[in-house]
Amino acid sequence: MHLPDVSLYDHSKTVAAFAVALYDYLEDKKIQKMPTPDEKPFALVGGDLSGIQKFIYGIIARGAAKNLKGRSFYLQLLVDTIVRKILDSLNLYDANIIYASGGGFYILAPNVGDLGEKLKELEAHIAQQLFSYHATDLYLALDFVSFGEAELYYEKGKTRTIGEIWKELAEKLGAKKGQRFKAQLEKG
């Protein structure tokens, strides 16, 4: 007998995230039929806060344990705030959050026409805020990868797998982390 290895909560939350993203995609395209397997109505949005180690451990020895806990808590609140800002900007719900912890997060969003521009604007705004409060200590890399039914129901040789989508997003975030504060430097 096969027993499911995913909790009912996680299953329901994921279904809700896909439903919201699909609905928003269909509304944006002004169509009433389901997308074809080759279309890419979904986007995996990822964010990665870098400089965490230096920020957490750059404390004085006196009261270090309290400072460590405080700074860790602060970083979690910071990530939660960034995720909330992105959700609000994209008109999404908590169900669209796949993961948000440890300085990183992933959101399932609709792949609508202006998603890339909205994320660029959000990234620039958040980077400017982080820079004004923390100088070069903390930096947020933000990007996305679009995908569709073909990736969810992988057929060998036809398309990339969902694992390759995660890897592609991780590589994009890594490349951005390698160019920290590029926008601020270009502004002069």
Burial 147-159 (b: 16+ CB within 10 A, else e): bbbbbeeeeeeeb
Q: Give bridge partners of residue 101 from the DSSP assignment.
A: 104
CA 113, 151, 10, 116: dihedral to nearest 10 degrees?
Answer: -20
What whole-number distance in Å separates Cα of residue 57 and Cα of residue 41? 41
Give yes or no for residue 174 having a pLDDT over 80.
yes
Burial 79-114 (b: 16+ CB within 10 A, else e): beebbeebbeebebeebbbbebeebbbbbbbbbbee
What whole-number distance in Å separates Cα of residue 3 and Cα of residue 6? 9
Structure tokens at 15: 């279904």
Nearest CA to 55 out of 142, 136, 124 is that of 136
What whole-number distance in Å separates Cα of residue 94 and Cα of residue 87? 8
Nearest CA to 107 out of 180, 176, 169, 38 is that of 169
Quick check: 95 and 17 in contact, CB under 8 A?
Answer: yes
Whole-model pTM: value is 0.88
Sheet architecture: strand order including 139-147: 97-101, 104-110, 42-50, 139-147
**What's the pLDDT tens digit per position in 46-100?**
999 998 888 877 766 666 667 778 888 999 999 999 999 999 999 999 999 999 9
Quick check: 69 and 7 in contact, CB under 8 A?
Answer: no
What whole-number distance in Å separates Cα of residue 20 and Cα of residue 22? 6
**What's the pLDDT tens digit per position in 13-33?**
999 999 999 999 999 999 889
**What's the pLDDT tens digit per position in 136-161?**
889 999 999 999 988 887 666 667 88
